[in-house]
Structure 1
Amino acid sequence: MESINGVELSLYRHGVTKENLEKVYIGWTDVEVAEEGIELLNKTKLYRPEADRIIVSDLKRCVQSADFLFPEDKKVYHKGLREINFGSWEGRKADELAKREDFSAWLKNPEEMHPENGESFAEFSERIEAAWEMIREWSYQDGIEKIAILSHGGPIRKLLVALAPEKKSFWDWKPLHGQGMTLYWADREAFRRGERCTSLSAVPIMEKSNG
């Protein structure tokens, strides 16, 4: 592959699932990508950047999405890149949970409250930070220039909060199912230190029109 000198990191959210469409909480629940998700992934595949290293959440919806986006490439599966664990709320719709006081409290303050028998935001954050630190150091040591991570909305938001050139809150980031964003570091040492990237751009899902 042609050298880019710096480091390029593409972050992809898995293709949409039936449960996503039905607004069901599925943090660690292992479900498949819906037909609608496959269609968009196939569009994204046409224009996504190449990658020297592909790291994927080990849940089925991410594994399937990675196989659609990078069908011929070797993947590394990492449990640390899973979505937040919603505990007893897994598999339930928001309207089913609406009368619960703990759910209402979580909606108002998700960084302090946590799902029954699930992960707190602090636990989730520590897990994602540890996974990223491992990926970053491993990729730097191996001289990897183009990295792809295929994960879920929460982990991608967490990485963007820490790495994007523009500072935004966790909830201000809106990663879309089946689509991606590419972060670029012109300075490899800045990448190794975990600093913010130089630039960020969307992975296109359609050809740019002329003019």
Structure 2
Amino acid sequence: MELDRRVVLSLYRHGVTQANQEKRYIGWTDALLAADGEKVLQQTKKYRPEAQRVYVSDLTRCVASADILFPNQKKIYHKGLREIHFGEWEGRKADELMNRTDFSKWLNDPTNMEPENGESFLVFTERLNEWLQTIREECLRDHISNMAIVSHGGPIRQLLVQLAPTPQSFWDWKPLHGQGVTLVWSDREAFGRGERCTLLSAVPIMEKENG
């Protein structure tokens, strides 16, 4: 494998927030990092690969996480990397939503149901795919070899569904707060064509979390 031909893409989930710790749904809700979140990110920083470009969700918890992981690098902020919008569920816990018809239907069919005033899974994946196509084009045009993304659990799961070497379902991927997954393609053209990566370094399995 020629090192100057390969592409390395690292996906980082933002550090944990108090709302995450309380298991609240915080899709587009802005939330500050908890002290535990900052601590884990500082540890992750010691082991992260270098990145020529850093793409970041524009929500505060991701912006702050990227500033810890990549303190001296320019960041590119993008709304397309936001978590799914939970609408009327934002800021609430699951046990507070159990009497809602839309929530109970979503638990049984999250792909086809959506929160009231929220975002459907289809709209979520379409905006994420639009962003992904943009960075593929930038990678080819600018000969980028090392990229990093700082985003949320949902976008990282969906990117892994599409890009990991072995297909798995959305909920099979369980990225850790403040930690990352690294994907490697043997050549830039394969990444540009939308092929799956050839190597992956995955985070450990953990329980499902929201946001």
TM-score by length of 1: 0.93
Match of 2:88 in 1: 88
Match of 1:10 in 2: 10
Amino acid at match of 2:86: F
What is the identity, as a one-letter code, of the residue corresponding to 1:175?
P
Counterpart of 1:45?
45
Cα deviation for residue 5 of structure 1 reads 2.6
1:81 and 1:11 map into 2 onto residues whose CA distance is 11
Q: Which residue identity is paired with 2:127?
A: R
Where 2:46 maps in the other structure, the secondary structure is helix
Shift of 1:4: 4.2
Query: What is the aligned partner in structure 2 of residue 146 from structure 1?
Result: 146
Query: Which residues of 2 match residues 188-199 of structure 1 at below 5 A?
Result: 188-199=188-199
Deviation of 1:62 after TM superposition, in Å, equals: 0.1
Measure, in 1, the Cα distance between the counterparts of 2:170 and 2:150.
18
Q: Secondary structure at the match of 1:47?
A: coil
Contact kept in structure 1, 2:55 and 2:149, CA below 8 Å: yes
In structure 1, list runs of 5 or more residues that go unmatched: 205-211
Q: CA RMSD in A?
A: 1.2
The total of aligned residue pairs comes to 202
Deviations 1:24-81 (A, max 9, x none): 1100001111101001000000010000000000000000000000011110000100
Check the 8 A contact 1:25/1:89 in 2, yes or no. yes
Describe the SS at the equivalent of 1:115.
coil
Deviation at 1:99, TM superposition (A): 1.4
- 8 Å CA contact 1:182–1:203 kept in 2: the answer is no
Shift of 1:102: 1.3
TM-score (norm 2): 0.93
Is 1:115 aligned with 2:115?
yes
Identity %: 66
Unaligned runs of 5+ in 2: 205-211
Q: Which amino acid in 2 is paired with 1:133?
A: Q
2:208 equivalent in structure 1: none
Q: Does 1:32 align with 2:32?
A: yes
- Tell me how far 1:203 sits from its aligned partner: 6.9
